[in-house]
Amino acid sequence: MDSKIRLSDRIELYRIDDKEWNLEVKTNHSPTFLQKLLCKLKLYNYADDALTNQAVYELATHFASTYTYVDVGTDGTDGGNYEFASLKVPTTIGRTNAVITYENTYSTNLLYPDTVVYTAVMTSDDDYILQESGLFEFASGGIMGARQTFYDWNVTAGEEFAFVWKVVFGRD
């Protein structure tokens, strides 16, 4: 299931002539090539949005610095009977400290990545039918920042497997 988070701010600039408001500039988060060209030629004007880019980047880096561990479990049912500190039925594999990197999913400015990529390699200590995974603050205890459920993924004792989990901080 996709969860949606949106962050957006917009600006409009008006010229007031004889009490009539005339829109001249507004925020354009995704200008076309033609709009960019016309802007450079000073035939079209739009506002870019460095502040929201920075805010999205700060949300992503805060999330990444808060939730650094991945865990897996065997109960993928939805519902409210799991706690925010644990998966419904965690395995005995234990939480693994993820390698965290960043990508640009929506942002085209490389200075402001909007996607946190968690990569965690785990080794199964038993045979499991995995159905859930979570991102956590600490190696034990703490808060779960995200949970994903999936349908029956079998792993056997001694098997090495990996998670690549991408958390995208989008904007309108």
* pLDDT, tens digit (0-9, with 9 covering 90-100), for 129-163: 999 999 999 999 999 998 888 889 999 999 999 98
At 1 the pLDDT is 46
At 27 the pLDDT is 77
> Would you list the domain boundaries of the chain?
50-171
- Count how many residues are written for the chain: 172
Sign of CA dihedral 48, 51, 52, 53: positive
Angstrom distance (rounded) from CA 67 to CA 143: 8
pLDDT tens for residues 55-112?
888 889 999 999 999 999 998 887 666 678 888 899 999 999 999 999 988 777 778 8
> What 3-state class would DSSP assign to 64?
helix
Cα 83-85-88 angle, rounded to 5 deg: 50
Res 128 pLDDT > 90: yes
Q: Looking up tokens 């802007």, which residue turns up?
A: 39
Q: Cβ contacts of residue 82 below 8 Å, gap of 6+?
A: 75, 88, 147
> What 3-state class would DSSP assign to 56?
helix
Our measurement of the distance from residue 107's CA atom to the centroid of its chain's CA atoms, rounded to an integer in Å, reads: 12
For residues 133 and 86, the answer to whether their CB atoms sit within 8 Å is no
Residue 23 binned pLDDT confidence (cut-offs 50, 70, 90):
confident
Strongest mean pLDDT among 16-30, 41-55, 58-72: 58-72
Beta bridge partners of 27: 47
At 109 the pLDDT is 74
At 81 the pLDDT is 60
pTM score of the predicted model: 0.73
Angstrom distance (rounded) from CA 137 to CA 70: 9
